[in-house]
Chains A and B, each alone.
Chain A
């Protein structure tokens, strides 16, 4: 089937088996292997990308469902020469060890901070009406769909808080 995916502002015209997941399309057909496959079952979050600004597990979605969608992967957030604030913060706080879950963590965190900014409540929010704040508890709750077996969790929270604080300072 023919599918057009806009990944990191570049259009990819792909001829795909309908069984190809969005994750495998990004990795094997668009050649962007920064997005990782940890479980292929929507259980670990390593494959998190943003579709039209929202974070999703790309392994749980078929590529053919995303014709025309705008997808942002880890490669679209920054490069080694021009890191995004979250990418820089992950390095500074050692928010990873093996690095395999890291692209998913960073994509997830990027969208998660927007969710907080938009006032979306979480399971640990005091009220449903907001405002939501990037506290340790909120971040831990909202990032619990992204597993890290190296268990860099305390450093991941530190990275996200660092990036969030820098953004507040800049605003």
Chain B
């Protein structure tokens, strides 16, 4: 027998009780190792592509070789005669690109209608992987091509839209700029980018009775379950999705991808389990990407560095009809004070791979460009870049007048500057030279909006004194297993080893999933609420108010009484479900995470090569749930900043829009030797407006870190690159220009 209870909480306002601080176990916040670590380091953690079931066959995607048009004929017959080939699937339900995150709406459209070069149009299934791959390459496809499709956002043929809700004007920006003592008006560009998780997108579909069992590389299971069901035309309860281990996602696994639906259709048709593992190029070309951006940033300031005008215009791209557009200016309205403002957001309709969320959509590229502009303004004013930022921190959210849930930018800046040794920076350019290398320092603010999502989790307390945490949450490397285990252990007074966390199965209560830095606070709160309910029942049995109950090492303690938990449980296991419901809190206060990044770089005066020599980041994210996994997330974010600043660029063929460098040899993610000594420092705080006083950490690092490098390069050698990544050719051109001017 198990007693079941539910504790639901709508998140409407601040919580000053800080209950977690009063718990006794002492494991929350500690740098506890990941509970699943031993499985991962020994190769025993089973990922989607590792699944092998009896009778399993293999599918390989076939992709369009035109940019826009229709498939007229699939020449399936010769392929079906090849050894081992079982089927050529060209079903109207096949999807063309990934679904967006946090929606049960599947990607729209008919796979026979080609909208970008490289789009999946069919699936070939064979007994073995080798046979399927070979046959897929041999499948001849005829098309009725529609020429003239725009493939670049700045092509005249590209239709440009201005979504009404994404434009805003406050005051008189043009007049303010005119009247300003110092003005910056510059164009910055960031490149099309790929999430490129190490685990390629993959799905294994098996039909059991009328139900689909789907192992898939996904970040958010409940919404993906809905997407799969809708794409197939079946009920969501007839789909079970499993993803206990996911090899990174970074946004690209928020929604379903083409191989998911293809595997399900093929498995249904053949009556056998079908595995479809994307090749690396397919993983990069058939899912989603981050839009390239063109950003015009205008800043006006008085002679003491007070901003009077902020203008931020952006041009991004996406496929026709797609609602998502990289929210470049997401943090622009509230990061700095300025009476006069203008935000312009343009979306060019292009026939390139879908744009969707990639780690920190918006601020990753928006804050990065903005923080470069701030550096240029500091330069123009002859001000310290840290001081310029400190001077412009608003007390209330500009425009709305809402309070900030917590605003730690100033502390992040000053603490970071002190720990980094910012006082050793030379204000003048080209002031430090070591051999062939110019050495310089740069910095930037970090800012990322913070949010929570609806989440449920179930916690079962056994008579043996162990707890089981269950939710469909995923761990994509973020540390979900660790922190959910820690929260339950802390709340229930159990050692880490007595708590087991089971994730990644839609048969379990629906969580927030992983994305947008909301996973830990949202699903963590659901675990917290479930535990709170269990504590209430234990307190009742103990005969004390719940807040006075101490739980530690499997015992309940109150006054001078200490008893094992089992004595309070009435002979039965206890189970509770926690349910976090986002409420008005988000409207009442502006929530964000804050930080600062500092970088020291060397620029080779002869070759233009850039080496990041050291970096430091400060992070104010509310309560730190696990000091080690949080640090790892912060490191990852900063290193993504290095990638954005120096190496990462999806190159699209100007003729047909296809991604030229769709593999890991040509799309350059940072490697070990690109990464210097990095220091992470958390600004410890409790944000009352966040449930558990904890906010997100997965994305903040990338939201400006790249700018610290750009600004350091300028400080080192005087070259200001406004088009990322700062490849050697761009730096070298700048060095040559400076040398020519000097002569």
Seen from chain A, the residues whose Cβ lies within 8 Å of a Cβ on chain B are: 17, 19-20, 24, 27-28, 31-41, 43-44, 46, 73-75, 77-80, 83, 87-88, 90-92, 94, 96-103, 106, 136, 139-141, 143-157
Contacts and interface: CB of A to CB of B under 8 A. Distances in A.
A19 B132 CA distance: 12
B629 A94 contact: yes
Interface stretch (B21-29, B289-297, B578-586, B663-671): B663-671
Given A28-B129, A75-B43, A153-B675, A98 B197 contact: yes
A38 B664 contact: yes
B722 interface: no
Nearest to B633: A97
Contact of A157 (B248, B633, B636, B672): B672
B279 A38 contact: no
B567 interface: no
B476 A87 contact: no
Contacts of B41: 74, 78, 83, 87-88, 90-91, 96, 99, 102-103, 106
A104 to B, nearest CB: 9
Interface in B375-418: none
Majority DSSP secondary structure for residues of B touching A? loop
Contacts of A39: 200, 280, 663-665
A71 B37 CA distance: 24
B507 interface: no
B665 A43 contact: yes
A74 B477 CA distance: 19
A40 B60 CA distance: 14
A41 B43 contact: no
Contacts of B50: 27, 33
B640 interface: yes
B52 A74 contact: no
Nearest to B632: A94
A140 B198 contact: no
Contacts of B672: 139-141, 143-144, 146, 148, 153, 156-157
Contact of A24 (B31, B129, B640, B669): B129
Contacts of A143: 672
B197 A80 contact: no
A118 to B, nearest CB: 21
A34 B247 contact: no
A149 B43 contact: no
A88 to B, nearest CB: 8
A97 B479 contact: yes
A63 B41 CA distance: 25
B42 A150 contact: no
Interface string B610-646: 0000000000000000001101110110011000000
> When A and B form their complex, which 3 residue pairs have the shortest distance between CB atoms, in order from nearest?
A34-B43, A100-B247, A98-B477
30 contacts: A17-B131, A28-B129, A34-B44, A37-B277, A39-B280, A39-B664, A39-B665, A40-B279, A40-B280, A43-B280, A90-B41, A94-B33, A94-B632, A97-B633, A98-B247, A100-B198, A100-B199, A102-B40, A106-B41, A140-B675, A143-B672, A144-B673, A146-B672, A147-B669, A148-B198, A149-B196, A149-B669, A150-B198, A151-B636, A154-B678
Contacts of B49: 33, 36-37
Contact of A19 (B36, B134, B633): B134
Contacts of B476: 98
A151 B43 CA distance: 19
Contacts of B36: 99
B677 interface: yes
Contact of A33 (B38, B43, B636): B43
A94 B481 CA distance: 13
Given A17-B130, A151-B670, A91 B34 contact: yes
Contacts of B33: 91-92, 94
A143 B476 CA distance: 23
A163 to B, nearest CB: 12
Interface string B581-598: 000000000000000000
Contact of A140 (B247, B280, B669, B673): B673
B128 interface: yes
B53 to A, nearest CB: 12
Given A20-B130, A28-B52, A147-B671, A73 B635 contact: no
A152 B198 contact: no
B702 to A, nearest CB: 10
A80 B39 contact: yes
B279 A149 contact: no
B675 A80 contact: no
Contacts of A43: 280, 663-665
B245 interface: yes
B38 A91 contact: yes
Given A98-B199, A98-B247, 9 more contacts: A27-B50, A37-B49, A41-B663, A43-B663, A78-B42, A91-B41, A146-B672, A147-B198, A153-B672
Nearest to B641: A151
Nearest to B643: A151
Contact of A97 (B129, B632, B678): B632
B640 A151 contact: yes
A46 B129 contact: no
A92 B663 CA distance: 32
Contacts of B198: 36, 38, 44, 46, 98, 100-101, 147-150
B671 A94 contact: no
Contact of B675 (A33, A92, A103, A154): A154
Contacts of B46: 33
B541 interface: no
B199 A36 contact: yes
B708 interface: no
A136 to B, nearest CB: 8
A19 B134 CA distance: 10
Contacts of B277: 37
Interface in B152-205: 195-200
B477 A99 contact: yes
A97 B478 contact: yes
Given A91-B38, A94-B629, A100 B671 contact: no
